Amino acid sequence: MPVLTHDAGATAAPEVVVDPQTLAQVLAPYKPHCQYLRTAVVEYAGTADTVAAATGRFSIPESCYIASTGHFNAVEFNICYNQLTYCLLAKCIEDNALRCFDGWTPADFRRRQLSDFLIARFFSSFHKPLAGLSFEGRVAVVKIAVRRDQTFMKTICRFDDDRGGAAEGGATIAIVNSAHQ
């Protein structure tokens, strides 16, 4: 299976702040009280170990589904991972930074965001309780493979707070019908 990496000739800058409009569009499918991602910066690394990455600031003032546990938990990990990954991929499409999205427009991404992006494998581990009120996360695409009309992305992620709280994990994302439609 071929591995695709960042196009050296892409027009995007190496590091790009995600504008509020793009962020709002990425978070639009989430109920307002579940929009945890506040800001994001995307990096188009194109290195041997990272294709593209995003770093984001998060805040979870109140859990969207349970009474307060006092710490960042697995459900919130998954939601934050999803929001930052969607933000990264939307920005990659907007900036035409990854060949696997050739021909995609931001409108294509928004139309397909919930239906065509699937988590095929997901894992997380928690090293020290993390405070949900203010923390940072990073997600990186480390490998892309295209098979027929599906694209697979291996990702890794980490969340940290200012008190030493930390959690990490990753996922393999399957993008079904990934050829432009």
Q: Look at residue 7 and tell me if it is in a domain.
A: no
Q: Look at residue 1 and tell me if it is in a domain.
A: no
**pLDDT value at residue 111:** 94
Q: Look at residue 4 and tell me if it is in a domain.
A: no
Query: Of the candidates 114, 89, 115, which has an alpha carbon nearest to the alpha carbon of residue 104?
Result: 89
Q: What are phi and psi of 55, to 5 degrees?
A: -120, 135
SS3 21: helix
Q: Which residue has the higher pLDDT, 149 or 33?
A: 33
Q: By percentage, how much of the chain surpasses pLDDT 90?
A: 72
Model pLDDT for residues 12-32, shown as the tens digit of each residue: 447 899 999 999 999 999 999
Q: Look at residue 9 and tell me if it is in a domain.
A: no
SS3 59: coil
User: Measuring CA to CA, how many Å separate 12 from each of 8, 42, 70, 90, 176?
Assistant: 10, 10, 40, 13, 26
Q: Average pLDDT for residues 122-143, to the nearest whole number?
A: 95
Q: Look at residue 180 and tell me if it is in a domain.
A: no
- What stretch of H or E contains 86? helix 74-94
Residue 68 pLDDT > 80, yes or no? Answer: no
**pLDDT value at residue 179:** 63
Query: Of the candidates 142, 91, 150, which has an alpha carbon nearest to the alpha carbon of residue 117?
Result: 150
Residue 172 pLDDT > 50, yes or no? Answer: yes
- Per the DSSP assignment, residues forming a β-bridge with 45 are none
Q: Look at residue 5 and tell me if it is in a domain.
A: no
Q: Look at residue 108 and tell me if it is in a domain.
A: yes
**pLDDT value at residue 72:** 86
Q: Where are the beta strands (DSSP E) in the chain?
A: 15-17, 37-43, 52-58, 117-128, 135-147, 150-160, 166-175
Assign residue 165 the CATH number of its domain. 3.10.129.30
Q: Which domain holds residue 26?
A: 15-175
Global confidence as pTM: 0.88
**pLDDT value at residue 43:** 93
Question: How many domains are there within the chain?
Answer: 1
Q: Look at residue 39 and tell me if it is in a domain.
A: yes
User: Which stretch of 78-82, 124-128, 176-180 has the lowest confidence by average pLDDT?
Assistant: 176-180
Evaluated on CA atoms 121, 52, 100, 75, the torsion sign reads positive
